[in-house]
Chain A
């Protein structure tokens, strides 16, 4: 066998493996999308219909107009926005401190941010439920957003610390020599350089908050603050939601995730893997 045929076979095998893995990853999404475009009689059939014979948007109209799905999405958007805002303000400052300032207890605090991820969500949910009920934050978007910071803020801090570590300290030193204060150097020199990292980390947190199910199930009880994952799950249980409608709801709710991820994946991947490869 010549090297060329060998390489050709090699590449063919690689593409075969790639297609298998890509198919496994992508097929459920594709199938849900196809189902959302099918008419009911094309879904419930005795022989499987793969490609819809007639494309319909009826399912999208149904989930949007004949359920409280828009309200659920709006609630999720509010909760997500609050979560991201909290993380952006407190997390950015914290990550900057952990990256730039040297003080006793720094390592311990960093480790503790990592360790809190080990705590079982169920163990946190129960006291949070009682706590939120006492301070009147149960069944509110703010309360749910605060609960989300429990597991998203530590991740935010770790990812942002990686991005801050990537900015050479010389730049700040130069600004300081030019008479800038420490806070001045931070705001005017360092922050503009990590904007793309900040956006990627914020998107990561936003997706986490948008998708979250367990805390929302426990901490929201009414349509006033219930988020879409809980609402969709309850609809499936209560109304025997038809598959087409359910698929349309799924596609609508993952659309923002897919778009944001496609736009930001490069920077997000960098943030997620930075710490892992170094350590």
Chain B
């Protein structure tokens, strides 16, 4: 067979496979057809449940108390929330949790990116190693740290005692004053690679001549960082911070695994409170109300944050 025959046969094969799609693809609605499957899925598994969740927050729904029915209760769940001291405590903890984690992750991520940006021998491997925690599952990350922070067998306790920072082993997760700090440590370990990744991409995008110009003007390293690097990274910092805030507010995973909100309620955050209400007490209505409040607060924060960062840009 000659090559031409191959090409013709090949084309016939494709024609047969794609068939009537070829004509459809020339139509004006082609883009919509391509988009339809993913759009349908997102609507079905995100938007519809979200709207339903909002409706649920105005209803009674307890799976373990069928006798209460699923009637409309208006704003009762929200009124209960205002009188619920655990809600306010969770709100306070959420703020500490999110601010602590974002500040720690941003600082460490930026430091890691600044170091990795120098491209010395061996740093490629380091770049892979630093990113790894972000891709590890919460369950394993949690238990790795639980093992290292164990009150009797924890290697971190041993190290801290050896260098003289601690006098004796400490029960990090049982001590109400240390628990939130310990969980923050785990979260920072888990989340800083995300910042490192995006900061590094941002650093690589800064034109070299900006630094050259700064050198000619006699700028020192710290001045270069302050007047060239940071302003150039401003947008990317703004974007990563808001993404991370959303992630931190919405996912209680690591807290659920490590402390379950305890000891007492020292590490109880809003998302965890809502999840426990739904998963343990099956009080879906009240849990939905907590999530709605969380969502509204998050939206308000995001709106203000975007406004503010736009204003700072100008």
Contact = CB atoms under 8 A, between A and B. Distances in A.
A140 interface: no
A205 to B, nearest CB: 12
Interface string A166-191: 00000000000000011110111000
B291 interface: yes
B136 A211 contact: yes
- Among A17, A43, A118, A210, the most chain B Cβ lie within 10 Å of the Cβ of A118
Contacts of A223: none
A98 B111 CA distance: 36
The prevalent SS among residues of B at the interface is: helix
B201 A109 contact: no
Given A86-B41, A119-B46, A122-B294, 6 more contacts: A21-B108, A89-B37, A97-B32, A127-B52, A211-B139, A214-B251
Given A17-B111, A124-B46, A181-B26, A93 B34 contact: yes
Nearest to A96: B34
A126 B53 contact: yes
A22 B124 CA distance: 11
- Give the 8 A-B CB pairs with smallest separation, nearest first: A101-B31, A94-B38, A211-B137, A123-B291, A273-B201, A97-B34, A183-B25, A90-B37
B1 interface: no
A273 B250 contact: no
5 contacts: A21-B111, A149-B45, A181-B22, A182-B30, A262-B128
B182 interface: no
Interface string B122-135: 11001011111101
Interface string A70-110: 00000000000000001001110110111011110010010
A254 B136 contact: yes
A71 B204 CA distance: 45
B225 interface: no
A6 B242 CA distance: 39
A147 B144 contact: no
Contact of A153 (B25, B42, B150, B202): B42
Contact of A93 (B37, B54, B287, B292): B37
Contact of B120 (A15, A120, A212, A213): A15
Contact of A29 (B132, B202, B250, B278): B132
Contact of A122 (B23, B123, B271): B271
A22 B278 contact: no
Interface residues of A, number: 97
B49 interface: yes
B268 interface: no
Contacts of B140: 32, 229, 232, 250, 253-254
A235 to B, nearest CB: 11
Contacts of B91: none
Interface string A30-52: 01100100000001110010100
Contacts of A102: 31
A17 B115 contact: yes
Contact of B38 (A124, A126, A153, A183): A153
A269 B37 contact: no
Nearest to B193: A25
Contacts of A59: none
B31 A122 contact: no
Nearest to B130: A25
A11 B144 contact: no
Given A117-B246, A146-B45, A14 B278 contact: no
B147 A247 contact: yes
B179 interface: no
B148 interface: yes
Interface stretch (B73-81, B82-90, B210-218, B295-303): B295-303
Nearest to B299: A118
Contacts of A247: 143, 147
B311 interface: no
A273 B200 CA distance: 9
B25 A181 contact: yes
B278 A21 contact: no
A233 B21 contact: no
B271 A93 contact: no
A217 interface: yes
Contact of B49 (A91, A96, A117, A127): A127
